[in-house]
Amino acid sequence: MRPVALDWSVENCTIARAMAILGERWTVVVLREVFNGVRRFDDMRVRTGIPRQVLTNRLATLVEQGVLRREPYREPGARARHEYRLTPMGLDLWPVLVAVLDWGDRHLADPEGSPLSVRHRDCDEPVRVQLRCAAGHEVTEPRDLVPRPGPGARRRRE
């Protein structure tokens, strides 16, 4: 049986566009650090071991794409520098990182468990990502989903 997905183009696929910004390993590590409150270049570099030029490039891309913004700061007696803050677009990535963390915890954690736990500030219970349809039904199995062309879909050119 021929998959219906072959009938529409992926030229304007938003997954591909998102991965053009997020798809490099160090980019997700940078986002993890900023979400965890590590916002300064030197702190990120020392904590993660990301090579200086790679970190510079990743931060520049995230700023250019509107995921992060640069905020100036100055330590007493030092030159002005910048720290990196999440924009609304960047904050929207939080569920993605929680989902990646959950997947990593289930499949890649050390025997002792994950080194990071994400908890709800009000009740201190673990947080997890859930999929729900617009009617509110929880979606637990991939087979419960049906890919269909969206409003921006284009017919595939033969």
| Average pLDDT estimate for 69-87 | 94
Element (H, E) at 62: helix 52-64
pLDDT for res 155: 78
pLDDT for res 158: 61
* Residue 96 to residue 62: CA distance in whole angstroms: 16
pLDDT for res 94: 95
| Residue 154 counted as domain residue | no
| Residue 157 counted as domain residue | no
| Residue 149 counted as domain residue | no
pTM of the entire predicted model: 0.85
* Residue 112 to residue 115: CA distance in whole angstroms: 9
Q: Which domain holds residue 46?
A: 4-144
CATH number at residue 25: 1.10.10.10
| Residue 158 counted as domain residue | no
Q: 20-40, pLDDT tens digit by residue? A: 999 998 999 999 999 999 999
Orientation angle between helical segments 52-64 and 25-35, nearest 10 degrees: 70
* Residue 124 to residue 122: CA distance in whole angstroms: 6
> Which of 73, 51, 76, 58 shows the shortest CA–CA distance to 21?
58
What is the domain count for the chain? Answer: 1
Amino acid at 74: R
10 Å Cβ neighbour count for 55?
20
Q: 119-133, pLDDT tens digit by residue? A: 999 999 999 999 999
